[in-house]
Amino acid sequence: MKQESADPNTPPRSPSPAPSAQHPRDDGDAQALWIFGYGSLVWRPDFAYSDSRVGFVRGYSRRFWQGDTFHRGSDKMPGRVVTLLEDHEGCTWGVAYQVQGEQVSEALKYLNVREAVLGGYDTKEVTFYPQDTPDQPLKALAYVATPQNPGYLGPAPEEAIATQILACRGFSGHNLEYLLRLADFMQLCGPQAQDEHLAAIVDAVGTMLPCFCPTEQALALV
């Protein structure tokens, strides 16, 4: 892929898988693999890794369009979690984790259950630009939920997504926690990291939260 240079509209320098997918390897280490996380993986990877870098991928936008009946919801009340939507003007921030040697097979085995079996995600190769060295992009593996998977919910107004998030809980916790942790991560990335979809849902939640539960319960959820 042609290497792109940074411009004023992009962040400046400054932290079973599908059988057909080929796992991108680190050019400097044939036994190394980079894995890009843009949802719960940014704060809870839960696998051993050798290095991690905050950065972004271009050509994709993050959307709360995937249903979750395990981690953040149930069969009766699916939660809303994120996937990547191909978008020529898009830029999605996240964290890339490098796994090496035995870490590679262990991480892929774990993520196959967490993301593919329980989440409905497939694998896709993306180009990751580290925040500190965007002129040195890396090939990385990302887990993406496509419209073909049975849990895919697709687009909805941000207010409707916020309502669904406020009502759902799964084995990994409340759907609201997922939303707010992702929003916190974006804040830590700095003002250059923008996600209008995420921000609109957070704003809608802030407006609706007092109507869903008393103040004490609302603070407990946050």
Residue range 145-204, pLDDT digits in tens? 999 999 999 999 999 999 999 999 999 999 999 999 999 999 999 999 999 999 999 999
Across 11-148, the runs of DSSP E, i.e. the strands, are 25-26, 29-37, 51-68, 79-100, 122-130, 138-144
- Higher confidence at residue 83 or residue 219? 83
Average pLDDT over residues 16-28: 51
- Closest to 147 (Cα-Cα) out of 121, 165, 125: 121
Rounded Cα gap, residues 83 and 64, in angstroms: 6
173, two tokens: 């916790």
Read off the pLDDT band of 31 (50, 70, 90): confident
126, two tokens: 């993306």
- Higher confidence at residue 115 or residue 220? 115
pLDDT tens digits, residue range 37-58? Answer: 999 999 999 999 999 999 999 9
Rounded Cα gap, residues 68 and 81, in angstroms: 7
Average pLDDT over residues 105-116: 96
- Decide the pairing of beta strands 51-68 and 79-100: antiparallel
* Residue 58 CB-density burial (10 A; 0-12 exposed, 13-18 middle, 19+ buried): buried
What pLDDT is stored for residue 22 in this prediction?
Answer: 55
Average pLDDT of every residue of the chain: 87
- Give the catalytic positions in this structure: 115
Rounded Cα gap, residues 170 and 164, in angstroms: 13
- Closest to 58 (Cα-Cα) out of 147, 155, 137, 115: 137
Rounded Cα gap, residues 59 and 7, in angstroms: 15
At 11, is the secondary structure helix, strand, or coil?
Answer: coil
What pLDDT is stored for residue 61 in this prediction?
Answer: 98
88, two tokens: 């020529």
Percentage with pLDDT > 90 across the chain = 79
Rounded Cα gap, residues 211 and 149, in angstroms: 33
Average pLDDT over residues 65-87: 97
Q: Phi and psi (nearest 5°) for 110? A: -65, -45
